[in-house]
Amino acid sequence: MFDRDRFTQDCLDAIKETDSHMAVKELIERACADPADLLRGLGEPTKAGPDKIYVSDELTILNLVWGPYMTLMPHNHNMWAVIGLYTGAEDNVFWKKVDGEPGHSRIEAAGAKAMRPGDVAPLGKDIVHSVTNPIDRMTGALHVYGGNFFEEPRSEWEPESLTERPYDVATNMALFERYNADLAAAE
């Protein structure tokens, strides 16, 4: 069964390698090769939000759960990331910056990736993406970031005008809680 502590240690060892991003990708591919095993190890998702497996200045590992039909606006991470899906569905739209000064850019859609259990996506440090769970149940994914996901200054893009603004961690974490409250009210 998937072992959180062993995986964390493997990731800590991997970030010491020259190509740490790809070394972590290989670890997530191995973990996601058996989505059912990963689901048993992490547990059936019961609420939306990040389960912090490990957080340091060099590495963040999350079991990230998206609520049904949940969407997160376009954002960047300013660090590499690797995402591996173990249950549900995740649709990513990838965006490119088209104009504006740094910190005030606009974006336009440049591609997409529909992820299903077993799929893994490496994201470079400059990638901008938005995420949607397109189904009516929880989606779970293993996320690994090459830094402190919660402390790194980054940007998000307002969904109507597609203009850049500072990423607000508290507002985005509150979005998960709003989805959880809606789910509880629907039961």
Q: How many CB atoms lie within 10 A of CB 166?
A: 10
Rounded CA gap, 20 and 105, in Å?
29
CB 134 within 8 A of CB 91: yes
End-to-end CA distance of the chain: give it in Å, rounded. 31
Task: Give me the pLDDT at residue 76, please.
Answer: 96
- Ordered by where they begin, the domains of the chain are 4-186 (2.60.120.10)
Q: Which has the closest alpha carbon to 161: 125, 107, 124, 118?
A: 107
Task: Give me the pLDDT at residue 187, please.
Answer: 75
CB 80 within 8 A of CB 144: no
Task: Give me the pLDDT at residue 105, please.
Answer: 80
CB 53 within 8 A of CB 63: yes
Q: What is the pLDDT along the chain (187 residues), one digit of tens a residue?
A: 899 999 999 999 999 988 999 999 999 999 999 999 999 999 999 999 999 999 999 999 999 999 999 999 999 999 999 999 999 999 999 999 887 666 678 899 999 999 999 999 999 999 999 999 999 999 999 999 999 999 999 999 998 989 999 998 888 889 999 889 988 888 7
Chain mean position to CA 6? 21
Report the predicted TM-score, pTM, of the whole model to 2 decimal places.
0.93
Task: Give me the pLDDT at residue 102, please.
Answer: 66
Rounded CA gap, 77 and 75, in Å?
7
